Amino acid sequence: MTHPTATKVLVIGYVWPEPRSSAASGHVMQILETFLQQGWEVTFSSPASPGEHMADLAALGIREVPIELNNSSFDTFISELAPDIVLFDQFMMEEQFGWRVEQHCPNALRVLETSDLQSLRHARHQRLKDRLKNNSDQDDFSDLFAPALHEEFLSMAHSDLAKREIAALYRCDLNLMISAVEIALLVEQFGLPRHLLHECPLMVDSPSAPPRTFADRAHFLSIGNFRHAPNWDAVLWMKSTVWPLIRQQLPDAQLHIYGAYTPPKATALHNAAQGFHVLNRAEDALQVMAAARVCLAPLRFGAGIKGKLLDAMMCGTPSVTTPIGAEGMHGDARWPGAITHSAREFATRAVALYTDEALWQAAQQTGNTLLGERYQRAIHGPALIEKLRYCQQNLQALRAQNFTGSMLRHHSHKSTQYMSQWIEAKNKNK
């Protein structure tokens, strides 16, 4: 039972969390668990339909309340709940519900959980599309990987998505960022005040059992939700270019690709004769990761940090990826495997890891060290709680420092409010 004076948290989710389907949902669950460990009273709401693989929040003691877009029933709900903290999961939820939260619970701390910078991911996707349209070379993509922060800024600054997303960051009292690289981009290029941002990476506990050995593993593995565009692009690049190069060196190699919500276009790529196995969602992602010898993540665009690569470290599975895949995950430390810039380099390093036991063992140990240094729940969980409490205790002073956020709330929330009320009235008259 929660204490009568327990902090009340309302989480407004873009979707109901499916931690076995996406790293973003896994991160939300880690945050929810951190709140529960404090004895806080947590309510989760979403306007989305429940997904096939959604977490059983009620079993954890989290109240589940469906909500509707453009409906004043939310006003009654939040007024009665009177939360101390409102966490928006993705900026679109702040756009939809932020003005209602401010209107009915003005003293609630408003927090945005970003998962990744969507405008950055979309800008990189567009850059890849332009590159593929103007250049037939499917091998070397070094010109796309990890450009200077100012180049990233220039590629994003013109987009409506970036303007919407960064405005939402300003309107909130605190924003949880999963990547230090994205924090640097926002502070150094977009000019966001540093105090509005808090680094909250994926949080895990150290593995309790030693990982499986080199000899006790087989096959290459790739894993990721097929609905996530960077994952689908990685599968296509593997099929067309990367995997044939690996099979040239290892003719009997097998690649197992797992993904939630496998579409027919992905199933059509399955070819057992080529060792290219497109499978459905893994019931236990860590189990299949622990059985694989090498994890492949040839990501040509994306943002945030990658749950699959953290899972690989958890399972003692060396990985081969790109600078996009490894971004924000290892700082100045070595990577537990290889970071590559071209399909040929990717294939060569993957084969070396797969066949050289000493190289593989060194990469496994590197991953274990990185896990302990950067992703411990015991460090990041308390840091998050401390930051939230500090913001609650200094809320008015912090808001006074954020005039830009106040200005954006005034203009944006008024227009959103009037549009929402118009839509609601129109729906009632149908």
What pLDDT does residue 153 have? 94
E strand or H helix at 278: strand 276-278
What pLDDT does residue 430 have? 63
Segment 258-294, tens digit of pLDDT: 998 889 999 999 999 999 999 988 889 999 999 999 9
Q: How far apart are the first and last CA of the chain?
A: 44
What pLDDT does residue 1 have? 45
Distances (CA, A) of 281 to 17, 101, 294: 16, 37, 19
What pLDDT does residue 419 have? 63
> Would you kindly state where each structural domain of the chain is located, as residue ranges?
8-119+150-203+378-428, 220-375
Structure tokens of 410? 């005034």
E strand or H helix at 46: strand 41-46
What pLDDT does residue 2 have? 45
What pLDDT does residue 260 have? 84
Which amino acid, residue 112? L
Name the architecture of domain 8-119+150-203+378-428: 3-Layer(aba) Sandwich (3.40)
CATH code, residues 220-375: 3.40.50.2000
What pLDDT does residue 283 have? 85
E strand or H helix at 403: helix 403-428
- CA–CA separation, 32 and 85 (whole Å): 12
Residues of the chain short of pLDDT 70, as ranges, are 1-4, 146, 412-426, 428-430
Question: What predicted TM-score, i.e. pTM, was given to this entire model?
Answer: 0.92
Distances (CA, A) of 227 to 75, 201, 230: 32, 22, 9
- Do 220-375 and 8-119+150-203+378-428 fall under one CATH topology? yes
